[in-house]
Structure 1
Amino acid sequence: MALCCVDVFYYAIWTIVPFFLGLRFHHRLLWNPKACPAQLKGKTTIVTGANSGIGKFIALDFARRGARVLLACRDQQAGDAAVQEIRRLTHNQDVHLRLLDTSSLASVRACANRINEEEKALHILVNNVGASGLPEEITQDGLQISFATNHLGPFLLTNLLLGTVNFSHFKGENLTCRMDNVYNSTKLHQLICTTELARRLQGSGVTANAVHPGYCMTSIMRHYSLALRIAFNIIGVFFFKYVEQGAVSPIYCAVSEELEGVTGKFFDSDCSLARPAPLARDPALAAKDFEISERLTSKL
C-alpha cells in the first residue's frame, strides 16, 4: 500500500521524536548533586567564569552547601547580577565578586593578590574557562589570546593561589589558525599541566583533577558567526546538555567524599574516570609543558 506525503511526514515525526527525547533523557541519568549531602560550611571556594553557564551553576551549588563563594568574572555588571541572583536563591550572603580577565596576566595577578591578602584559606578552586572562536589577536603580554585565556591565565591563577590552598580539586581539561583547533590545544595544555600539578603536589594533601563537562548549551559560541551560533543552538536542543547538567561532573569532583584523596585523574561528563589522550599521559611532556608555562608566566 502506498503512503501519501502526510503519512510519511507523521511516520517520520513519531519515529524521530522519541529518539531525540531518549537522547535528552540520557543526559539526566547522571550523578545527582542534590542527592549529595556534602556541606561546605566554613570552606572558601572560587569559581572562574561564574556569571553564566556551567560556572554559575557550580557557584550556585557551592553556595547552597554553605560555602563562601568567590565568583571570578571579567564583567562587573554581569558578575554583580550573578552574585545577587545566587544570594537570592540560596539565602547565602557570603557570595562575592572578584574581577578576573584570564587573557590578561596583570588581571590574574591582581585577582590572586587580593585573594591571597583577604582569604586565610582556599579549599576549592574551579578553573571554569572555555572561550572558543576568539579573534586572532595578540594580548598585551604578547600571547595568542586563546592560549592566554584558556590555559596560561588559569595556570598562573592556580599557581599564585597555591599558598592559600589547603584542600581542593583543580578542574580543567600544536596551535593552528583554525579556531576550534586552537581551543582544543588550550584544553589539552590544561589537562597535561593538571597531571603534572598533581604529581608535584603528592603528599601535600592537595589534589588536582581535570574534568570534561560535556557538550553544553552555553555561550561558548558567542565569538562565532550568527549562522554558526544558530546551527549550534538548533543541534544543541537535541544533543547537548543544559548548563545545570554540565555542572554536575565538576561539582561531583569537588564535593563527593568518595573522591577524597583522588588526584591526577581525568573525569568525563558522566562523572566517570576517563582515559585521556596519549599526549596527556606522557609524564616527560607534562613536566616540560608545566615548565614552559611557568617560564611564560613568570616573565610577564
Structure 2
Amino acid sequence: ALVVAAAAPTLSVLIVASLAIGVLATIAQQAVPFAAELAPPSERGHAVGTVMSGLLLGILLARTAAGFVAQYLGWRAVFAASVVALLVLAVVIILRLPKSKPTSTLPYGKLLMSMWHLVVEHRALREASLTGAALFAAFSIFWSVLALLLAGAPFHLGPQAAGLFGIVGAAGALAAPLAGKFADRRGPRAIITLSIVLVAISFVVFGVSAKSIAGLVIGVIVLDVGVQAAQISNQSRIYALKPDARSRVNTVYMVAYFIGGAIGSGVGAAVWPVFGWVGVSVAGLLFAGLAAWNHLALQARTAND
C-alpha cells in the first residue's frame, strides 16, 4: 500500500492507498494489549505507558522526519522511506518479539461479534471509549490545521517547520510512562481528570497564540501531556475489565478513539476556512468539554449506584 501511495499517479489512487495503509497499520494497537498481557497486574500501567511512549514518539517524530523529507525530496519520498522502515521492523519482530498463546478458542467471526457484548456489559469501557475519542478529536483538530496556520501570515513557514513541532510534542510523549506509574499507584480516574483539564488549558493557550510560536510550543507540550496521560490511564482501566479479552477490549476502545480522531480532523478542515484559528481553538475546547462531561457523568452515576 505504501508503494502504491509513493507511485500514485492521481489523487484518487493516493486516497485508496491511504485507506489501505490505515486498514493494515494495526500492529501498534496489537502491541499495547500484548504488553499488558506480559506485565504483572501491579505494573500493567507502567508497561502500557512504556509501549505507548514508543508508539507516540513514533507518531510525533514521524511528523518531523516527514517534514524534512518532504521539504527536500518531495512527498513521495516519505512513503518510500516508510517502506524501508517497515522492512527493518519486520526483521526486528521476527528476531526479538516474545511469544504468546491465544486466550480464546472462539472462531474469528464470533470473536468479532463478542465485542458488541463487551460494549453492552461494561459501562466503564463505554465511558473510556467516549472520553478517549473526544480527547483524540481535540488532538487531531490541532495537528490537522497546524500546518495551515504556519503557512500563512505572519509565519509563512513550510512543512519542515510544522514537522519540527513533532519534536516539541515528543516531550509530552515522554510523560506516558510516568502517567502509567501514577495510574498503578493512585488509580486512573484522577489522572484522566487532570488530563482533561490540561487539554482544555492547551486550547485556551492556542486561542491566544495565533501569532506566537512560543505560545504554540507551550500549548503543544500541554496538549500532548494531557492526551497521552489520559490514553495510558484509560487503557490501564479497560485492560483490567476482562483479562481474557484484552485485545477485543482494546479493539473497541481504539475504534472509538480513531473515529474521534477522524471527526476532529474533519471538524478542523470545516472550521478553519470559516472561523480561522480561534474557531479551531474553540472547537478543541468543546471536545475537551465533551470528555469532561462524559467522565464526570459516569463518576456521578457510579457514586449513585
Q: Same fold (TM over 0.5)?
A: no
TM value normalised by structure 2: 0.30
TM value normalised by structure 1: 0.30
The structure richer in strand per residue is 1
The structure richer in helix per residue is 2
